[in-house]
């Protein structure tokens, strides 16, 4: 459950960055730097939660394709959630710095769904 606590901490940090630094106005954030920072932090929360579930990869670094493959074996619906989180958090926010509040909120919601799913899955396994 250490991974889940850490994932929640990362996600809380991402929300705080958006709330306190990105400066929301009229449905858009004003500071792209902080949107990118929040997107990368929120995406890290997703990976942290999934790492707690899937463990270590045999060789090399984990890629998005590796996570997709592992999730596809376990839950196809969650794979869609992961793909959406990847698009919103990692690509739109983290790389592009998309300032749209709705895009950012959707990414944060997807991250929360994934973390909660992993947490539930781990509780079922441990009981």
- In this predicted model, what pLDDT tens digit does every residue of 95-119 receive, in sequence order? 999 999 999 999 999 999 999 999 9
Which residues does 120 contact at the CB level (< 8 Å), separation at least 6? none
What is the second-level CATH architecture of the domain 2-126?
Up-down Bundle (1.20)
Amino acid 32: pLDDT: 97
pLDDT for 126 equals: 63
pLDDT score, position 58: 73
Q: Which residue has the higher pLDDT, 125 or 59?
A: 59
Note the pLDDT of residue 40: 98
* Contact between residue 5 and residue 47 where contact means Cβ atoms under 8 Å apart: no
Confidence class of residue 127 from pLDDT cuts 50, 70 and 90? low
What's the confidence (pLDDT) of residue 21? 97
Alpha helices per DSSP H over the chain = 2-20, 32-54, 64-74, 76-85, 101-126
Measuring CA to CA, which residue among 105, 117, 27 is closest to residue 78? 117
Tell me the HSE value of 5 on the side-chain side, using a 13 A CA sphere.
Answer: 2
Whether 123 has a pLDDT exceeding 80, the answer reads no
**71 touches 79 (CB < 8 A):** yes
Question: For the chain, what are the domain ranges?
Answer: 2-126
Instruction: Report the first-to-last Cα separation within the chain, whole angstroms.
Output: 13
Rounded distance, CA 23 to CA 72, Å?
37
Residue 1 above 90 pLDDT?
A: no
pLDDT tens by residue, 54-84? 987 777 788 999 999 999 999 999 999 999 9
Instruction: Summarize pLDDT for 20-38 with one digit per residue, the tens.
Output: 999 999 999 999 999 999 9
């Amino acid at each position: 459950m250490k991974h889940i606590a850490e994932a929640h901490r990362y996600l809380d940090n991402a929300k705080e960055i958006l709330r306190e630094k990105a400066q929301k106005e009229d449905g858009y954030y004003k500071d792209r730097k902080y949107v990118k920072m929040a997107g990368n932090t929120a995406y890290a929360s997703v990976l942290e939660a999934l790492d707690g579930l899937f463990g270590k990869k045999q060789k090399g670094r984990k890629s998005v394709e590796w996570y997709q493959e592992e999730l596809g074996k376990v839950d196809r619906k969650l794979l869609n959630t992961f793909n959406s989180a990847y698009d919103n958090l990692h690509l739109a926010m983290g790389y592009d710095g998309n300032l749209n509040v709705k895009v950012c909120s959707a990414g944060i919601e997807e991250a929360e769904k994934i973390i909660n799913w992993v947490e539930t899955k781990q509780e079922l396994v441990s009981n």
